[in-house]
Amino acid sequence: MKRVGLLGCGAIGTEIAHAIDSGKISAKLTHIYDFSKENSKKLVDSLTAKPIITENVGLLAASPVDMIIEAASQDAVRDDILTILQNRKDVMIMSVGALLDESILDIVLDGCEHFNKKVYLPSGAIVGLDGIRAVQDELDSVTLVTTKHPKALKGAKFFESYKIDPDNITSPTVLYQGSAQEAVRLFPANINVAALLSLAGLGSQKTQVKIVADPKTDKNTHEIQAEGKFGKFAIKVENVPSPSNPKTSRLATLAAIECLKKICGTSLNIGT
């Protein structure tokens, strides 16, 4: 049975830890770290099989685990991914947006090759990455349309530059249309989905993104269109927000749990 370490004991880390603790994932959570000791302790208290709280990330990376789950932040990916790979641990990354920074992506790719390790990125709040990866070499275009309630977009850099007040949007409004690269600068909350799609497909410069504010929706909706020699994909995902953290979609947590189940299982692996 795989031994797993957890970096980050917030809402998503806690849900993953509980999925392991309940036996849903065939693994043992043996070591955890969060920069907030309180978060770590709260998590340990809620688990039947108690993991060890390490003093720092370095000790988590050096602990006797087979893989580490990053559920902390983009900064954690930036600062700690190399240490983890150097300690010869596989990694599952939740804050995939960090990999849109090419210097971080290079560290990950080089680290995987050099230390013979794997880095896993669950599908997050979208579906169909199995297909996008398969046709990557013959894609002509990939477009993402994200529709959210204006409230869910509040605080984005976009509103500083464009002087639109999200509270005054009364009908579905296209706020942005352009490259994924620029989209994640203006709407950082959308970064994981844009990063996954860019990495699986055409990269962040060629992936087109449209952001729509719809005051009548209670879902986070992502529509993906992809075309090429193989044919066409049209994918629409309407996500219910996660009950424990309304900023993320329930699907993102479920995808992480499923990804881990697949990594840790010795059984049928369904899907590319």
Which residues in this chain contact its own copies in the complex, by CB under 8 A?
99, 108-109, 112-113, 116-123, 126-136, 138, 196, 199-200, 219, 229-240, 249-251, 254-259, 262, 265-272
Smaller CB distance to its own copies: residue 32 or 251? 251
125 marked among binding-site residues: yes
Closer to its own copies by Cβ: residue 182 or 238:
238
Residues contacting 176, CB < 8 A, separation 6+: 158, 182, 183, 186, 187, 209, 210, 211
CB of 143 vs its own copies, minimal distance in Å: 14
Kindly give the pairing relationship between strand 52-53 and strand 139-148. Answer: unpaired
Shortest Cβ 196–its own copies spacing (Å): 7
222 is catalytic: yes
Pick between residue 64 and residue 231 the one whose CB is nearest to its own copies. Answer: 231
DSSP per-residue string spanning 141-204: EEEEEEEE-HHHHTT-HHHHHH---GGG--S-EEEEEEEHHHHHHH-GGGHHHHHHHHHHTTHH
Among candidate residues 31, 114, 149, 222, the one labeled active-site is: 222
**The two structure tokens encoding residue 194:** 């844009």
138 or 167: whose CB is closer to its own copies?
138
Supply the minimum distance, in Å, between the C-beta of residue 259 and its own copies.
Answer: 4
At position 107, the amino acid (one-letter code) is: I
- Closest distance to its own copies from the beta carbon of 150 (Å): 19
Considering the complex, state which of residue 65 and residue 99 has its C-beta at the smaller distance from its own copies: 99
Contact 156, 189 (CB under 8 A): yes
**What HEC string does 67-82 produce?**
EEEECCCHHHHHHHHH
DSSP assigned state of 136: G
| 239 is known to lie in a ligand binding site | no
Among 61, 60, 69, smallest CA distance to 27 is for: 69
Cα of first residue to Cα of last residue in the chain, in angstroms, is 24
Strand partners, 208: 143, 179
Q: Which residues are annotated as a binding site for NAD(+)?
A: 125, 192
Catalytic machinery residues: 222
